[in-house]
Amino acid sequence: EGLGAFFQPVHTMTGIIAQEMGEVVRGSIHYRALFMVGLVLFGLTLLINLAAQKITKRYRMSIG
């Protein structure tokens, strides 16, 4: 699709989890895929928070 792909509608990962988790069959591949999306979100959040803590610690040490 080239540059046209940037103009296609998208959905957030949290939105997909919230919309579909209530209707999905527990234990199905769809359920596991949604669960993995949640784990990916958790991992990204954890990495961003760890990086922010490291940057903050470094900034505080350089100030005083």
**Predicted local confidence at residue 64, as pLDDT:** 67
**Predicted local confidence at residue 63, as pLDDT:** 82
Over the chain (64 residues), what is each successive 10-residue block's mean pLDDT? 86 95 96 97 98 93 78
Do 27 and 6 form a contact (C-beta atoms < 8 A)? no
Residue 18 lies in a domain: no
Residue 63 lies in a domain: yes
Residue 4 lies in a domain: no
pTM of the model: 0.73
**Predicted local confidence at residue 61, as pLDDT:** 82
Integer Cα distance of 29 and 13 in angstroms:
17
Residue 55 lies in a domain: yes
Integer Cα distance of 64 and 62 in angstroms:
6
| Structural domain of 46 | 28-64
Residue 1 lies in a domain: no
